[in-house]
Each structure stands twice: as structure tokens, then as C-alpha cells.
Amino acid sequence: MADTTARIELVSPAGSLPALQAAVDCGADCVYVGLRDNTNARNFTGLNLDHAAARDGVQYAHRRGAKVLLAINTYPQPGAWKRWTDAVDTAAELAFDAIIVADPGLMRHAARHHPQLRLHLSVQGSATSYEAINFYYRHFDIRRAVLPRVLSIAQVAQVIRNTPVKIEVFGYGSLCVMVEGRCSLSSYATGDSPNTTGACSPAAAVRWEQKSDGLESRLNGILIDKYRDDERAAYPTLCKGRYEVCGETYYAIEEPASLNALTLLPELMRVGVKAIKIEGRQRSPTYVADVTRIWRRAIDACARDPGGFKPNPAWTHELRAMSEGQSHTFGAYYRPWK
């Protein structure tokens, strides 16, 4: 059974060295980053850290008492296996505090060659049950698991009660279509799987076209959405496009809204969640700083008085302004019937 009394850690994203420094300065306990290749699931041009920036980032965080986690969370391909093992070796060389992994073969490599390197199970591993998590614990000594965004709080609590592995959940940021690790929509449209190339809706396939009746966004020629002049255009992802279904046009798969579990902090703390993860390695250092600062204050306030905790209205206002679609949801956490 997992420890339900430990302090909740705040895990913030960083797609650059300035973002990592901002996260640390604003109170993140851990910062997660990726390298500049397809070993991570945010493999976009200009994003992520090269070897020198990764080294500097780890040193910066460690001097200030924070941890750095390296996301190596895509699935290695036979012709490029060494690229993924090199990423694991780099994590060990630069003294990262843990790696976030999904592929069992890569876990085996890490366990055999770097037994001192802590392993976290990525959300890309799609482990939604304690049986799955315990499998990775038995075979690879996984110390933390990031749960996919498909479970209610009651289901999260059931997982925690039945595993020694520390559990991390998402608290804020863009929502996936809720099948992390199994998405085939983007690969169907572009020919590139997010789970191997590290990019959902790769930039090379994105096109914008201004038409007389609005701005169109397309992915490899497929019309994803059309925006009026008074609407804010979002980055085109298949799951969050508007489609015509039975004569109606609407968000048929996933509405573009951000997860915000700030109000649920006392419940997440009560059931024994170990860490709250903020999504957004593709976002700016300013975004990382602002979101981290708010969540740091909220977690500290909740720790002082869980029974009386209520989010400051100013926090909610700021988070909504930074969210996708400027709207929030509890996602799968809140199910009144569950």
C-alpha cells in the first residue's frame, strides 16, 4: 500500500532551459524535460534540450533543491534502438533524478545498465490498473507511475491502495483524447505515429488557409476546423477538431478545454496521490512560471488546511486565461455516479 501521508510534489514542464529555470524559481519540486529528438513525445522544432542545456539544467535545479526528470517516453524502433539507449545513458551521465519511460525493452536496458537510475512509468504506458503498475514494479522496479487521464478519483484511490508504487496524476493543462499511448488518429492522417516520432500533428503536416468565410486549419490536407474572425484559432489536432455528424457540426471527439483539478486538491491529497503534474512542455517560460507559481501556492495552502482549502478566485481566473479554449474541466476525475 502506498504512503498516503507524504507531501504532494509539484511536477512542472519545461521545453527549454529558461522554462526549466522558471519552473525551479517558482517552486516546482520536479521539472520534466526531453532531449532534441524523437525519444520524447514533444518532438517539435526548437523545443527541448541539447546535451549542454540538459547538463546546465540539472545543475541549476540541484543547486536549488529541485529534481529533473527526463522523458524518454516514445517507443523505440528496431532501426534506431541505440538512439533511445543513448538517451538513457545520457540521463545517467548527467545525473537526472529519474527517467519517464513507457517501453518495457527500454526499462530492461535501464535496469541492467544503470540500476541506480530511478524509473517512472510514463502516461504513454497506458497503465490504468494496479495490476499493470505492479507488473512494471516487479520486473523493472518502477518507483512512480503517471496515470492516464481516464480515471475518477475513486479509481485513482483504488490503484493507490493496491500498489507500493507512488502515483502521479495530471492536475492542469491540455487534455488528450484520453487514450494516451494508444492514439492512432494522428498517424492515420499524417503517416507518422506520435508514439514513435514524438509529435501529435507534426508541424510539417499543418496548413492554414484564409478563405472568404473564415480561417481553415488542415492536417495533411484534412480539414480539421474553420474559425470565424471573432474566434481564436487553436493548433490543429484531430481529436479536437469540429466535424459534421448527422447534420450537426461540433467537437465530436474531444472539446478543446483544459484540465484544472485545483478544486480537487484536498481529495487527491486524501487518497494519497504523490505528485501533481502540469502539462505543457511546448508552452513558454512565462506560462510555466505563472502556472507553477499558482499551483505551488495552492498545494502549500492545501497542505496547511486540507479541510478548509478553497482555491483563490484570482488563481482560477489566471489559470482560465492561460488554458486551451479559456475553459476548464475536471475531466474524468469527477463522475457523480461513480
Look up residue 126 and give its three cell numbers: 497506458
Give the pLDDT of the chain (338 residues) as one tens digit per residue.
Answer: 444 446 899 999 999 999 999 999 999 999 999 999 999 999 988 999 999 999 999 999 999 999 999 999 999 988 999 999 999 999 999 999 999 999 999 999 999 999 999 999 999 999 999 999 999 999 999 999 999 998 999 999 999 999 999 999 999 998 887 567 777 888 888 888 888 888 888 888 999 999 998 999 999 999 999 998 888 888 888 888 898 899 999 888 887 778 999 999 999 999 999 999 999 999 999 999 999 999 999 999 999 999 999 999 999 999 998 887 677 888 888 866 55
Q: Which three cell numbers stand for residue 209?
A: 488557409
Q: Print the SS3 string covering the chain.
A: CCCCCCCCEEEEECCCHHHHHHHHHCCCCEEEECECCCCCCCCCCCCCECHHHHHHHHHHHHHCCCEEEEEECCCCCHHHHHHHHHHHHHHHHCCCCEEEECCHHHHHHHHHHCCCCCEEECHHHCCCCHHHHHHHHHHHCCCEEECCCCCCHHHHHHHHHCCCCEEEEEEEEECCCCCCCCCCHHHHHHCCCHHHHCCCCCHHHEEEEEECCEEEEEECCEEEEEECCCCCCCCCCHHHCCEEECCEEECCCCCCCEEECHHHHHHHHHHCCCEEEECCCCCCHHHHHHHHHHHHHHHHHHHHCHHHCCCCHHHHHHHHHHCHHHCEECCCCCCCCC
User: How many other C-beta atoms lie within 10 A of the C-beta of residue 147?
Assistant: 26
Q: Which fold has domain 9-175+257-329?
A: TIM Barrel (3.20.20)
- Give the pLDDT confidence score for residue 128 in this predicted structure: 94
Looking at residue 338, its pLDDT comes to: 54
pLDDT at 175: 83
Looking at residue 292, its pLDDT comes to: 98
Q: Please tell me the distance from the alpha carbon of residue 129 to that of residue 180, in angstroms, as a whole number.
A: 14
d(CA 182, CA 148): 11
Give the pLDDT of residue 187.
Answer: 85
Residue type for 159, please?
V
CA-to-CA separations, 215 to 210, 234, 303, 321, in angstroms, rounded: 4, 11, 46, 23
pTM value is 0.91
**Residue limits of CATH 3.20.20.70 in the chain:** 9-175+257-329
Match 502515483 to its residue by C-alpha cell. 167
pLDDT at 254: 81
